[in-house]
Structure formats: C-alpha cells, structure tokens
Structure 1
Amino acid sequence: MNYSPLLISLKAAVIATMITFVFGIYAAYFTTKLDKAKGLVDGILTIPLVLPPTVLGFFLLVLLGKNSIIGKFLSSYDIFIVFSEAATIIASAVVSFPLMYRTVRGAFEQLDRNMIYVAKTLGLSNHKIFLKIMLPNSFSSIMAGTILAFARALGEFGATIMLAGNIPGKTQTMAVAVYSAVQAGNRTLAYKWVAIMVGISLVSMIVMNKFEKMQVVKVGKGGN
C-alpha cells in the first residue's frame, strides 16, 4: 500500500491549519471591531462554508489559473499553482478557514466586555488587550476551532480535485485516493483509506470536545 496520500494529506492539512490559525484569529478580531458593513464582511468570510466545494474549486481555478492576473504574474517567476502541492494547501486552507473564523469570532463575542473596558481605563492599547486578554480567555475555543479546521482540511475533496487534480505522489490526498480506488473498483483499498480518515477524524473530534469542555467548565466557574 502506497502511503503517499496520507503524507500529502497531513502536510496539506498541517500547513493549511497554520494559515487558517493566523488569518482566522485576526479576521475574527477585525470583524468584532467593525460597526458598519459587519454583516457583509462576515458573509464574505463565511461563504466558503456554504458553497459546494466544487464551486469553490472552480473559483480558485479561475483566480489562480495560468490565464488569470495572478496566474500570469506568478508564471513570470516560473511559479504555477494549478496541479501543484501548493494547490492542495490552498484548497484546504480556503475550505477550513470559515470554521476557524466562526469559532474564534464566537469566542471573542462571548467575552465579558467589562474586562476590556477596565483594560482600556488602565491605558492598555487595543493590541495589548487582544494579546493579554482576548487570546488567553478564548484559548480553549481557539484550540477547538484549530482542531476542527484541521479535520476539515484533512478531508477536503471537491476544491482539491478541481485545483490540484489527482496526481499520484504529488496531489493525490486521501480523499482523492478513496475516489480513485472506487472508480478503479478497488474497494479494499478504498476501505483502508476510509478507515484511516475516520480514525484521524475521530481522534480530532475527541480532542476538540476536551477543549470545548474546558471552556464550559471555565465559564461555569465564572470565567470567560
């Protein structure tokens, strides 16, 4: 059994999760600070969550293809996104981003505003309030969102096959490998990949639930 789909999936999911971790947190912070157009911005950031993955993959293909503005710019430096390892990472990051963003945004909005008001009266800047108050008090939710984003990135199929294709040893993730195995009539191989994905996803959900329980216990004790 060739384990390259497992390695490709883990690599794409880990890097994508690192990207969504950073951008998801700052996007959530930015959105909570908005007064006008908050609903519009939130809708744009969340739309990958409700779009069919193949539609999302099509948009990414149009945006990053060799005939697009971005594609032409990158090709001038001999950088090609479509059907590359980078494409698996980008597809995974885009589809998992809304989960991270929504989870963190919900945590930020549930914080006790009195803590923030007191911090401001003590002269703390918004940046320090973000680092010293908002992040520490939302740690459990942030970790839960990170794990959820990782699990989503690991199982991504639609956008990946549209943007990255199905190249064995290069862009063939586990989800794509299941599809290929079924198409080839090799159900034994498909069952093996499904079992591995279910196992990893189950462990991820158990760990995520631990962090969510930590947050519930903290709130129950009067924390935030």
Structure 2
Amino acid sequence: MNKFLAVLTCTAACALASASYAEDPPMGFFVTSVGLGDGGNLGGLEGADAHCASLAEAAGAAGRTWRAYLSTQEEGKRGISARSRIGTGPWYNANGELIAVDLDQLHIMPNLYLRTAVDENGNRIKGRGDDVNEHDILTGTQEDGTSYFPWQEGDKTCSNWTSNGEGSATVGHHDRHGGGNTSWNAAHNSRGCSADDLRGTGGNGYFYCFAAD
C-alpha cells in the first residue's frame, strides 16, 4: 500500500513538474498594437510607459514593470538611453519565442523580425509588402540603444515625445526591411511628428515595450 502511494505521489509530482516546464515563459516584449493617436506626442516617457502597462494588463500580463523602448535628448549632454530603461533580459514575445537573452544580444543579433515582433496579443504587425505598411517603430535612439550626443543636431525624439507637429523621430523597422536598412531600432528619421507625417513614411505611432523586471 505504501509503495502504491509512493508511486502515485511521484507520478502526480512529475506530471505537475512537466506541465510547469511546458508552460510558455512570461511575455517580456511586444510592439504596441495601437498608438496613442497623437503622432509623436506620447505624453513623454511617463505616458509611453503607462501605455505599455495598460496594453500588457489588457492582454493578461499585468504585474510586471513595463517600459517603452525610447530615448530622450537634452541640451548640452546626452539624454536617457532606451537600453538603460528596459532591464537586462531575457525577453520573450507573447507567443513564447525568445527575442534576446540580454542587452548585448538585443543590440547585436536579436531574434526580432516580422514574425517575432508581434503585439501584446501575439498578432503580427503589418510591414513592408502588406496592404498598409506600419513598420516604422518609434525609438529616438541609435543602433546600440543609446541616446544621441548633443553635437548630433536635429530633433530625434519629437521633443522628447511631446510633439505632434514640428520635429522628427528616429524609427526602426520591426520587419527588418525597407530603404536598404535592416535596423530594428534606428532605420531613419520620420518626416515630422504629426500622425500624418508618421504614416507618410510607413508608421502609425507604434513603439516597443519591454518588461524591466
């Protein structure tokens, strides 16, 4: 009898362990499924972070510290760098696919392409070749994830994510295609900061969100 109970207990425990192991890792990365509707005005970093958290909560991924992958600019010195805001990884998308194990892989050779750069619900974001191209993702950053130097002239962050008119923002291509540049975070600058300007170069005010914890 005791032997039977021991076997039964082991079987149940092993099954539970296997089920736990088979579960997808928690989501730690997504592209916003919708923008904030005001061009490059995201309400600053605070507003962008809040948008990430709101979308994640609606998708059932509340309880994590969500940060928008955005840099800022400051006069006379470097601003806040996107890479310094998002933790150390690893990060998985909503479908359980690994995007990068750490900051180095994320900025050198991430698993970030049209198929994997999905929104918070695991849905694909439209890219080059679709009926509407929305592959421009707001970042305001350089390829290594750092903010621009003060001597690099011009607005790269839509006035630190508060402008919906004048200015410009650096964008990446989540599908890694277009314009001869395959960068996911620093492909080119937008025409301006209005919603129409962002759409004019193939965007819709989307940005990347990462869990920093």
Name the TM-score class by shorter chain. under 0.3
Q: Higher helix share goes to which structure?
A: 1
Q: Higher strand share goes to which structure?
A: 2
Q: TM-score, normalised by structure 1?
A: 0.23
Q: TM-score, normalised by structure 2?
A: 0.24
